[in-house]
C-alpha cells in the first residue's frame, strides 16, 4: 500500500503528522480507553514487544488512534497509555480528521448501546494492528493475539530494510 499521511493531535496536545515519523517502523492500532478486551490486550502486547525489541524499540513508534473521540480526551489517553508505556502515542482529532484516517486504513467502528453498562455504549472496531515500514507503506496486518515472538521477528525484518 502506498504512503497515506495524516495529521492528528496527540495526548500532549501536540500535532502528530505521520510523515514526521518516516524512517521508523510504525505500529498502528485503532481502539479506545474504555474497551473491555481487545484494546488492553493489544497495549499489553505492545509493552512486551517494546521490552523484547530492546534497543531496536527506539526505531519503532507505537501509535494508538481512538475510535471513541467522545470519551477519549487527550488527558484520558495520556493517563491510559502511561499505564503501559510513556512512549506510546495516543491520537485523537476532529470527527472529520479521524474519519479520513479511518477511511484511509479501512477501519471499522460502530457505537453499540449497552443498557446494563455504566459506560452506556461500547465500540465495535477493527482489532488488528497495522504495521507501516520506514517509508510509511502499510506492510502487515497483525492479530491482537499474535505471539510476541512472531511480531518481533516481523518487525526486525522491517527494521533491516
Q: Residues 100-147: pLDDT tens digits?
A: 999 999 999 999 998 877 778 899 999 999 999 999 999 999 998 999
Per-residue pLDDT tens over the stretch 39-73? 999 999 999 999 999 999 999 999 999 999 999 99
Question: Which residues on adjacent β-strands are paired with residue 60?
Answer: 25
Homologous superfamily in CATH for domain 7-160: Glutaredoxin (3.40.30.10)
Q: State CA 3 to chain mean position distance.
A: 17
| Segment 81-89 mean pLDDT | 97
Give the per-residue pLDDT at 1.
Answer: 63
The per-residue pLDDT for 144 is 86
Residue 70 CA from chain centroid, whole number: 17
* H helices present in the chain, as ranges: 38-53, 74-84, 95-104, 148-160
Amino acid at each position: 500500500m502506498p504512503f497515506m499521511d495524516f495529521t492528528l493531535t496527540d495526548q500532549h496536545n501536540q500535532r502528530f503528522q505521520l510523515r514526521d515519523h518516516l524512517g521508523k517502523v510504525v505500529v498502528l492500532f485503532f481502539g479506545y480507553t474504555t474497551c473491555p478486551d481487545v484494546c488492553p490486550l493489544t497495549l499489553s502486547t505492545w509493552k512486551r514487544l517494546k521490552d523484547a525489541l530492546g534497543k531496536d524499540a527506539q526505531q519503532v513508534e507505537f501509535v494508538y488512534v481512538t475510535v471513541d473521540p467522545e470519551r477519549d480526551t487527550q488527558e484520558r489517553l495520556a493517563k491510559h497509555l502511561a499505564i503501559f508505556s510513556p512512549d506510546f502515542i495516543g491520537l485523537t482529532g476532529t470527527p472529520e480528521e479521524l474519519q479520513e484516517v479511518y477511511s484511509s486504513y479501512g477501519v471499522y467502528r460502530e457505537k453499540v448501546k449497552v443498557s446494563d453498562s455504566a459506560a452506556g455504549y461500547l465500540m465495535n472496531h477493527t482489532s488488528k494492528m497495522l504495521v507501516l515500514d520506514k517509508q510509511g507503506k502499510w506492510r502487515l496486518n497483525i492479530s491482537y493475539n499474535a505471539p510476541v515472538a512472531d511480531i518481533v521477528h516481523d518487525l526486525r525484518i522491517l527494521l533491516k530494510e
